[in-house]
Amino acid sequence: MRKFLSIFVLTIIISFPTVLFGNNTAAAESHGEEIATYGKEFLGVSYKFGGTTPSSGFDCSGYLTYVFNKFNISLPRTAADQYQAGEKVSNKDIVVGDLVFFTTYKSGASHAGIYVGDNKFIHASSSKGIMISSLDERYWKTRYLGARRFITSSTNLTVKDGQIGVLTINESINLWKRTDDNQLQEVRVLQKGEKYRVYGYDDKFGGQYDLGGGLYVTNIDSHIVYSELTSKR
């Protein structure tokens, strides 16, 4: 009976994707406004390389990890790792609360901030501390790399090519990334109620779901529910 119900529900998901799967931009934007508002509370806090608190001062990634932690979103410590871990967002789809990345003192992502709307972002400047700058400024415009999203919708997803199922988070659980030596490294924490596309499964590390981009969730039945798509794209 349970198997029949699962197949029935998943058939509905595939048959009516516009109902259960959609663009997650609106949900991300709603939550992103809260994050941006909280981030602005630290305007004027001084810059400190390696700093992670208002009392000690912030560097760019330390500021981001501190702000997002307020909302139970764990970010990697460095801008480079944050750039690799977040969901890629096209320039036309950037919303408030997304992270924007730049290459500054070294190649690759070496600086980041929170997009706050009107083509502006808040960040920890090495010269002025926490401040708001414009993406249109020549310095930032010529060094811009792209945007990443760490805010996810709890219900909205679009079915993508290669997807085999959907993972629903019942309890907070770690997201891992496979390292070059085939080990798992913690990236951030997925929160209760969120849903993620699944692109594969293997039995390593006790079983793990492939969320794409080398990111994995281990198979802990009490924390996740996996639903296989009846028609894979």
Look up the domain containing 205 and give its range.
2-23+154-228
Relative to beta strand 184-190, strand 129-134 is unpaired
> What does R_g of the chain's alpha carbons equal in angstroms?
19
Q: From CA 115, how far away is CA 217, in angstroms rounded? A: 28
Q: Which residue among the candidates 62, 98, 111, 152 is catalytic per the annotation?
A: 111
Beta bridge partners of residue 167, listed in sequence order: 196, 226
Place of tokens 């811009």: 144
Q: Are residues 114 and 159 part of one domain?
A: no
Does any domain span residue 233?
no
Place of tokens 């709890």: 154
Q: Which residue among the candidates 31, 120, 123, 188 is catalytic per the annotation?
A: 123
C-alpha separations of 55 from 48, 59, 125 in Å: 10, 12, 16
Token pair recorded at residue 122: 């808040």
CB 225 within 8 A of CB 165: no
Q: Which residue among the candidates 60, 94, 217, 224 is catalytic per the annotation?
A: 60
CB 233 within 8 A of CB 160: yes
Q: Are residues 142 and 52 part of one domain?
A: yes
DSSP 197: E
Tell me which residue of 130, 106, 119 sits closest to 45, measured CA to CA: 130
Task: List, in order, residues 6 or more apart from 182 with CB less than 8 Å away.
Answer: none
Catalytic-residue membership of 223: no
Catalytic-residue membership of 7: no
DSSP 169: E
Catalytic-residue membership of 111: yes
CATH, residue 99: 3.90.1720.10
- pLDDT tens-digit readout, 47-56: 999 999 999 9
- pLDDT tens-digit readout, 87-139: 888 898 899 999 999 999 998 999 999 999 999 999 999 999 999 999 999 99
Which of 149, 184, 218 corresponds to the end of one domain? 149
Residue with the bigger pLDDT between 183 and 103: it is 103
Which of 149, 175, 207 corresponds to the end of one domain? 149
Residue with the bigger pLDDT between 121 and 197: it is 121
Number of domains in the chain: 2
CB 57 within 8 A of CB 46: yes
- pLDDT tens-digit readout, 21-42: 233 444 455 578 889 999 999 9
Q: Are residues 129 and 43 part of one domain?
A: yes
Q: From CA 175, how far away is CA 177, in angstroms rounded? A: 7
Q: From CA 127, how far away is CA 104, in angstroms rounded? A: 14
Does any domain span residue 217?
yes
Does any domain span residue 96?
yes
Q: Are residues 203 and 115 part of one domain?
A: no
